[in-house]
Amino acid sequence: MSSAAPPPEYSREKGRGDEGLWQKISGGSEIDELWSQFSADAQASYGFYGKDLDREQLKTVPAWRRPFRIAKHYFWALVMKMTPARRVILFIALVMLIVSGPKFSVGRSFTFDMNFDALAALLLLLLLSLELADKVTMKRDLEIAREIQSWLSPSQPPKVAGASIAFHTRPQNSVAGDYYDAFYPMQDGESGGKLFLVIADVAGKSVPAALLMATFQASLHTVARENVSLQKLVQRLNRYACAHSLDGRRFTTALLGEYDPATRQLVYVNAGHNAPVIRRDNAKGEAVIERLPASGVPFGISPDAGYETATVQLAPRDALVLFTDGVVEAFNGKGEEFTDARLVESVRYLPDWDAQRSLQFLIERVDEFVGRTKQFDDITCLVLRCE
């Protein structure tokens, strides 16, 4: 007797249930997206746990032993990240898995089999839940820190007579050590006052760098509103940075400038930062590239360091591009860096657009190069485009 086929309604409901379970597990991502995420996570974990692996010493080990040496290094690098109590639980679970394998025969009719697989799996699941709880708690704290950090950076570019400004930042983690800003210190932007431009990069990553960035931003705004000269402002920032740089280990590279919309003149100081790029058009309409090289050491290295101001004259249709090293050091899946040369070529072929579209053009070039490869540094860029 053949069984009756289930009604169509039942089949549709069952299909929706299966689809709902898969959607919940996968987060709505396709298989290729899931694989890309896994590859990025695996690559990031490989770099994280392998950063202390001595590659040169590994070359002295016979080739057949290298995989075992690498596996041993990664195992201990992972284990030592745990608390002592969790390490004990992990080793108990591993011992249970090992002893669950062998079977011992006693006589002809009795076999002794110790099976702790289920208990070992429960212990590993307990470890996973503990580590996950730590991660969720830390992630929540980092999200709060990121929200606070977003208050310190401008969400919308200021209005500039005869020019436009745009900026973009992409933290490597939830919080960033990069800093960008564009503001009128004397709050007289509508009357044609000078615009202050800054881009900075604190050495290091994540929370320590973000905290130093916040103090740098606060001190900059405080000193800038005292209407001191750019040179004195830079000297005071450097002395403050030296007092909080842990003997120079937490230095800050920065470019600070005063832009006068009335004359299109930029007075600036480059304290060890990546040389900004200026794109101009010559008399033949060909693109000409100009750089603004560093004239001083990064902030926080020497309290007696000297900084020289320089002046550059911008013209209509010129584009000024400020960026951090995360842009030029962005890498793809093959480990190749975007490089300064690629950025310069991208700026060279920049269309005659406003700042926002020009910025999107540059960021798209970086994204096309790196694909979905997870980056190890913050990516920040600021564009000033003269009309």
Q: What is the pLDDT of residue 11?
A: 45
Q: Say how many domains are in the chain.
A: 1
C-alpha to C-alpha distance for 18 and 20, rounded to whole angstroms: 5
Write the CA distances from 287 to 114, 284, 319, 387, integer angstroms. Answer: 76, 9, 11, 16
| pLDDT at residue 357 is higher than 90 | yes
Contact 162, 387 (CB under 8 A): yes
Q: How confident is the model at residue 54 (pLDDT cuts 50, 70, 90)?
A: confident
DSSP structure class, residue 83 = -
Checking if the pLDDT of 277 tops 90, the result is yes
Is residue 38 in a domain?
no
Asked, for residue 85, whether it belongs to a domain, the answer is no
- Domain assignment of residue 141, yes or no: no
Does residue 361 lie in a domain region?
A: yes
Chain segment 196-248, per-residue pLDDT in tens = 999 999 887 777 777 888 888 888 998 988 888 999 999 999 998 888 777 76
Residue 272 CA neighbour count, 13 Å, CB half: 16
pLDDT for res 61: 85
308: in domain:
yes
Is 18 inside a domain boundary?
no
Q: Token match 């639980």: residue?
A: 89
pLDDT at 349 over 90: yes
Phi, psi (rounded to 5 degrees) for 277: -115, 135
Residue 48 has pLDDT above 80, yes or no: no
Q: Single out the residue of 279, 294, 295 nearest to residue 344, CA to CA.
A: 279
CATH number of the domain within which 367 lies: 3.60.40.10
Phi and psi at 170, nearest 5°, equal -135, 100
Res. 379 pLDDT band, cuts 50 70 90? very high
173 has pLDDT over 90: no
Whether 312 and 349 have beta carbons less than 8 Å apart is answered as no
Walk across the sheet containing 195-202 and list its strands.
178-183, 195-202, 252-260, 265-271, 310-313
Residue the block writes with tokens 């929200």: 147
Q: What is the pLDDT of residue 19?
A: 59
Look at the pTM and tell me if it is higher than 0.85.
no
Q: Is the pLDDT of residue 170 over 80?
A: yes
Q: Which residue has the tokens 């700042």?
A: 355
Residue at 159 is within a domain: yes
Tell me which H or E stretch contains 125. helix 117-152
Find the domain containing 276 and state its range: 153-386
Q: What is the mean pLDDT of residues 302-316?
A: 93
The two structure tokens encoding residue 263: 């004359």
Residue 293 lies in a domain: yes
